[in-house]
Structure 1
Amino acid sequence: MKSIVTLAFIICSFCSFAQTEKDLENQVEKLRLALIDPTESNLKELSSASLTYGHSSGTLENQDQFIEALVSGKSDFASISFENQEILVEKNIGIVRHYLVADVVEGDKINPIKIGVMLVWQKEKGSWKLLARQAYKLP
């Protein structure tokens, strides 16, 4: 009987972990879509008030600056894909690594970019919120 209870606990724990990882993966996809079609409400919903957002250029933004840059069009993406994504969840923290491949609108030109990104997500009141992001140049 003990082994059945233990097995049931292990199965439930695995299913819960898999669902948590899937929930985070869904939030990352919402972020990708919000970067292409940004609104203040969708970006606020996805990010923490304590957000620190680092660009590959070294520029750092807080939540308000991050939202303003996207909503104003200062940062403008025509398309974005996330490649080679890896997700690690540890309790209420999620770490996501991927390559961001995008077409960036700069004036009347569209420039392709490919950078590495690490996202740190924290579960706040049952929802995953982006707490930190750091982009870096690839070799």
Structure 2
Amino acid sequence: MKQLILSVLLTIVLGFNSIAQSKQETAVANAVEKLRLAMISGNEAELRAVTSDKLSYGHSGGLVENQEQFLEKFKTGASDFVTIELKNQTISVSGKVAIVRHELHGTNNDNNKPGEVHLRILLVFEKSGKEWKMLARQAVKITP
């Protein structure tokens, strides 16, 4: 009987942990979607709201920007996404930190020059209050 009670309690505890993890993963996925939409719109307030003031934003070519430099690229049109499609996304949450991996496929108009982008992305999000904010990003080009 004791084993049955312990087994039931363990199942309940693990179930609650799974639900909590699932809620956090959903919250992170929502933050990623906010980021995707903000990168397409180029809206500075939306971009700032989903990024940390300690942002480290790494490009596939090796350039690393802080939050202000990242935002400036959108203001000036140096970074101008027309479409962004995310594929094969995985999310892993550990406490107040989340790791997101996905492929980014999109079209852009950087500096008024149309182009395409195909990248593998690693994002690190940090929970700040009730919100998840992008703390770091690193991209690598997908080679055909």
Whether the TM-score (by the shorter chain) exceeds 0.5 is yes
Distance between the aligned counterparts of 1:64 and 1:71, measured in 2? 10
User: Which residue of structure 2 lines up, in the alignment, with residue 18 of structure 1?
Assistant: 22
Residue 90 (structure 2) pairs with residue 82 (structure 1): no
Distance 1:102 1:19, change over 3 A: same
Q: How does 1:36-51 map to 2 (within 5 A)?
A: 36-51=40-55
TM-score (norm 2): 0.90
My pick for the range that moved more, 99-108 or 79-88, is: 99-108
- The letter for the 2-side match of 1:66 is F
Give the superposition deviation at 1:82: 0.8
Distance 1:118 1:3, change over 3 A: same
Gaps of 5+ in 1: none
- Verify the 8 A CA contact 2:79 2:111 in the aligned structure 1: no
User: Which residue of structure 1 lines up, in the alignment, with residue 97 of structure 2?
Assistant: 93
Distance between the aligned counterparts of 1:106 and 1:125, measured in 2? 34
Distance between the aligned counterparts of 1:40 and 1:55, measured in 2? 19
Gaps of 5+ in 2: none
Cα RMSD after superposing both structures: 1.4
Distance between the aligned counterparts of 1:106 and 1:61, measured in 2? 16
Q: How does 1:1-139 map to 2 (within 5 A)?
A: 1-139=5-143
